[in-house]
Structure 1
Amino acid sequence: MAEYLVRGALLSCQCGSHPRRLNLPKCHGIYYGEHPMMGEMDCIIEENISYFGVCSSSTPPANAETITLAAYSENVESGEVVEGFICCPNIIGTWRNPHDTSQISKGEAAITTDSYLICSCGGLIQPMTSGQEYEEDE
C-alpha cells in the first residue's frame, strides 16, 4: 500500500550512486502525523532535491563537474570511492502518479511512494522510503 511522501523521504535515481533526502524548506501547512507532506510541484533542484552522487548515465548532465565520493553503503564505510560526473538531475515536468484525491493546496496533489520523477539524462527517481520514519535533528 502506498504511503504519503513527507519531508525526509529517501529518494534514489537509477543512474545515481547515492540516495538523497527529499527536502521542504517551507511547509505547505499540511501534515501527515507530525511530518510536512510533499506535493507534486516539490521537485525543484537544490531546493527539494539534491544531487544523487555520481551519474552512471550514458548521457550525463551537460557541463557536469567531475566529483569523487566515498562509495555509498547503508551500514559501514567500505573505503571504496566512486568518481565521475555529478548526478544533478534535469527533471522533466513534475512528480508523476500523484495521489489525485489528496491535495496539499488548491490544484496540487499529494505524492506517495508510488510517485516518481523522470530525468532527461535517463534516470528514474523513486522513493526508497516515505520519510514517515525519519526523525529530523532539531
Structure 2
Amino acid sequence: MPSVRSFIKPAGPAVEAPAGQEASYVVRGAMLECECGSNPNLLNLPTCHGAYIQGQPLMNVADSKPVVNIPATFGVCEALDAPCEPQVNMEWMNGKADVLIDGKPVLTSDSYIMCMKHANGVIYIADDGQKKE
C-alpha cells in the first residue's frame, strides 16, 4: 500500500479506498494525514481494547478524540494559512460494522473523519500501521 492515498471527497457521506485495494484494519501508530495539513502524524491509542492483529492493538471508530487519539497538529493548515489543529467532534466514518471492538465498528484503512475548521479538512488513514513482514 502506498504511504499516501488519494481520496476523492464524494457528494455523499462516504470515502472509499482506491479501486483494487481492500480496506485493512487500523492499529495504534497508524499514519494520518489531513487534506489541508502540511505534515502527517500518528494515531494514538492510550488504552488498548484487548483486540489485536499480529500483536498490534486494533482501534475502533470511537477512537476519535482530539489530542488523545488524533494528534494536536498536522503542521500548517494550507486552507487557512494557520496551524493545522484539528477540531473533531464525531466518530470515524466507514468503520467495518460487522466487526465490533468494545461494541463499536473496527477502524479500517478507508475510514475518515471531518475537521470542523474547514470544509476540506478530511483526516484519513494514510497507512494502517500494521507491520508488514
The two structures share one fold, judged by TM-score above 0.5: yes
Does residue 62 of structure 2 align to residue 41 of structure 1?
yes
| Deviation of 1:86 (Å) | 1.4
Q: Does the CA-based 8 Å contact 1:95-1:116 persist in structure 2?
A: yes
Q: Flag structure 1 segments of 5+ consecutive residues without an equivalent.
A: 59-83
| Deviation of 1:57 (Å) | 1.9
Does residue 84 of structure 2 align to residue 91 of structure 1?
no
CA distance in 2, matches of 1:100, 1:112: 10
Question: After superposition, where does 1:1-138 map in structure 2 within 5 Å?
Answer: 1-50=22-71, 51-58=73-80, 84-106=81-103, 108-120=104-116, 121-122=118-119, 123-133=121-131
Cα RMSD after superposing both structures: 1.3
The structure 1 segments of at least 4 consecutive aligned residues displaced by more than 2 Å after TM superposition are none
Aligned identity (percent) is 40
Task: Report the TM-score, using the length of structure 1 for normalisation.
Answer: 0.74
| Deviation of 1:92 (Å) | 3.9
Between Structure 1 and Structure 2, how many residues are aligned?
A: 108
Task: Kindly name which structure, 1 or 2, has the bigger radius of gyration based on alpha carbons.
Answer: 1
Q: Flag structure 2 segments of 5+ consecutive residues without an equivalent.
A: 1-21
CA distance in 1, matches of 2:100, 2:53: 12
Letter in 2 for 1:27: C
| Deviation of 1:111 (Å) | 0.8
Q: Which SS does the other structure have where 1:11 is aligned?
A: strand
CA distance in 2, matches of 1:2, 1:129: 11
